[in-house]
Amino acid sequence: MRWDRPPVDEATVSLPAWVRDAVDFTVPYERDEERMRLAIRLAHENVERGTGGPFGAAVFERGTGRLISVGVNSVVRLNNCTLHAEMVAYQLAQKRIASYTLAADGHPAHELFTSCEPCAMCLGATLWSGVSRVVIAASRDDAIAIGFDEGPVFAESFAYLRARGVVIVEGVLRDEGRAVLERYRALGGLVYNG
């Protein structure tokens, strides 16, 4: 059957329809916990609405707390292994500011909040994204505990980013981030990268 499908020269990265009503882009998100609550709520809603894996992320301006973009895991929904929550958030943020880097001249500093520790792919993308700070809720071990693989990430991987000026903060609302993972497992959610 696949032989019938013609070559593809375009793909779309999109958020589920519910995100538009679930996220308020008009208010600033003042503190770390408030910013993280949004990322975790996105992960939670993604599970409850059946639109993807138990992962959510958001990009903010560091100083103002202005919300630039959000992402939810979209691997299965869009048949695209690259669409982890962080990857979606980075792409939509860069499209919004019309730059391939969030560290562009004349722009304020940006940061990523993610409901779970980035995998190898997302950690690499973090370096290319131009964010200067990453804040993490659930840990790598929490993700592995429900069957996900995080890929080739090592202590040196984080050190590599830190050496290039990226601040990394772990364990902010970790229990809440982990609870979404456990909810996904309890519902029998597909572990697409086992």
Q: Is residue 82 at the binding interface for a copy of itself, with CB under 8 A as the rule?
A: yes
Close Cβ partners of 51 (under 8 Å, ≥ 6 residues apart):
16, 18, 72, 74, 77
Closest CA to 145 of 113, 114, 172, 184: 184
Residue 133 Cβ, how far from a copy of itself at the closest point, in Å?
Answer: 16
Among positions 27-66, residues that touch a copy of itself (CB under 8 A) are: none
Q: Computed from CA positions of residues 42, 92, 53, 50, in that sequence, does the dihedral angle turn out positive or negative?
A: positive
Closest CA to 194 of 48, 81, 86: 81
Residue 141 Cβ, how far from a copy of itself at the closest point, in Å?
Answer: 17
Residue of 45, 86, 111, 150 with catalytic role: 86
- State the amino acid at position 129 in one-letter form: S
Is residue 56 within 8 Å of residue 46, measured between CB atoms?
yes
Binds a copy of itself (CB under 8 A): choice among 55, 60, 90, 184: 90
Binds a copy of itself (CB under 8 A): choice among 116, 161, 180, 181: 161
Q: Name the residues that contact a copy of itself, by CB under 8 A.
A: 2, 5-15, 19-20, 25, 67-69, 75-76, 78-82, 87, 90-101, 107, 119-125, 127-130, 149, 151-154, 156-157, 160-161, 192-193
